[in-house]
Amino acid sequence: MKNYNEYIKLLESTKVKYYEPILPKGSKKEFIDILIKDFEKQLKNDPKFAMYIHDKPVTDVEEIRKFFNSDDINNITHEVIHIKQQEKYPKMFGYLLKQAQKDWDELEKNNNITKNMRGYLSNPPEIMAYAFSYIYITKKKIGEDMYGKIDDIYKQIGGEVYDVFKKYVDFYEQNI
Ligand SMILES: [Zn+2]
């Protein structure tokens, strides 16, 4: 992405619509295997590819597996949803993941919706995955982190993004 305006243009061209929700079933180990397989596939396509763990590029699979093992099941399932989305709905993805990560960092820092954040959270894959994370966290009563506040943030975004988010929330509420 050359610049911010280009990014915004891309976001505006991304259609917000409701897709049949994905709810991965399996154990933590099975989910981690899916993430590792996806990492290996990406590394094969791009030898410069790396996973960033605490801002450090990592390509060693065992190190990545160790990180996932220590990670929260909610985060892991959220990422598995993204992988399944790419298989099932490739057109759902219209943005650059690197930019999305920057946006995420900004949200964590400021806890407010900048223009960027609105774009990031309005992306169709994220609307579904965050609805999952929100219900998962709420039902399991895990911590008071970003995910727990995500409903308020989507409410602030409003419009059809919030309508679609609510529809996913209804689905996950009934199925998790
Ligand atoms: Zn996500």
Ligand 1 centre distance from Cα of residue 62 (Å): 23
Asked if the structure places residue 4 within a domain, the reply is: no
Residue 14 lies in a domain: no
What's the gap in Å between 14 CA and the centre of ligand 1? 16
pLDDT digits (tens, 9 = 90+) for 89-100: 987 876 545 555
- Examine residue 81 and state whether it is found in any structural domain, yes or no: yes
Cα(5) to ligand 1 centroid in Å equals 22
Q: Is residue 1 part of a domain?
A: no
Ligand 1 centre from 139 Cα, in Å?
19
List Cα–Cα distances, 60 to 27, 40, 52, 65, 174, in angstroms.
Answer: 23, 10, 11, 9, 39
**Of 134, 166, 174, 120, the residue nearest 8 (C-alpha):** 120
Domain assignment present for residue 6? The answer is no
> 79 in a domain, yes or no?
yes
User: What total of structural domains would you count in the chain?
Assistant: 1
What range defines the domain where residue 152 resides? Answer: 22-175
Domain assignment present for residue 61? The answer is: yes
* Per-residue pLDDT tens digits of the chain, which is 176 residues long: 445 566 556 666 667 889 999 999 999 999 999 999 999 999 999 999 999 888 899 999 999 999 999 998 888 999 999 999 999 998 787 654 555 556 666 666 665 566 667 777 888 899 999 999 899 888 776 655 666 678 888 998 888 899 999 999 999 999 98
Residue 2 lies in a domain: no
Q: For the segment 68-96, what is each residue's pLDDT rounded down to a tens digit?
A: 999 988 889 999 999 999 999 987 876 54
